[in-house]
Amino acid sequence: MTVSLTRVSQRLPVAFDALRADAEADGHRHMGRLAAELDGTQPMFHAVFAAYVEGNLAGIGAITDEPEPTSTPTWRMRRLYVHRQFRRRGAAQSITTALIQVAASKVWMVTTNAGNDQAARFWEQIGFHQISGKGWTHERRI
């Protein structure tokens, strides 16, 4: 199964409403926040990537500046979601790899907030380390 990526510039993918509906049914509201942010504050994003599996929108993810104070320039992975139908097919890893590649020439560290144990396991499997006492749950030096 091949995952293809598209960099999102100003408009969300056509099938985004179905992805947002799946996220909300799965208990996540951050796709609505992504839509509002892209509409109102699009320059906050360094990159947004959409992943497709067999031509279907499988997931999306973004990266911004880390909003918490840091001693060095740091970016944060945000708004990552993969449709439940397309999980475990490489979409999330494809998105995060592309976002890390964008960050690699700009910053030394990328952070994220894992919303649950399953997300924490994913971040740890791709090289992020759990951290406490910060405004994020995981970080990865690049």
pLDDT digits (tens, 9 = 90+) for 77-125: 999 999 999 998 889 999 999 999 999 999 999 999 998 899 999 999 9
Q: What is the pLDDT of residue 40?
A: 72
Q: Are 42 and 35 in contact (CB under 8 A)?
A: no
Assigned token pair, 99:
């976002």
Sequence-ordered list of residues with C-beta below 8 angstroms from that of 85, at least 6 positions apart, any chain: 22, 58
Assigned token pair, 8:
């999102």
Q: Indicate if the pLDDT at residue 68 is higher than 70.
A: yes
What is the separation of C-alpha 59 from the centre of its chain, rounded to a whole number of angstroms? 9
Q: Phi and psi for 88 in degrees, rounded to 5? A: 65, 30
Rounded Cα distance between 3 and 58, Å, is 9
Residue ranges of the domains in the chain? 3-141
CATH 3.30.70.2740 fits 3-141, yes or no: no
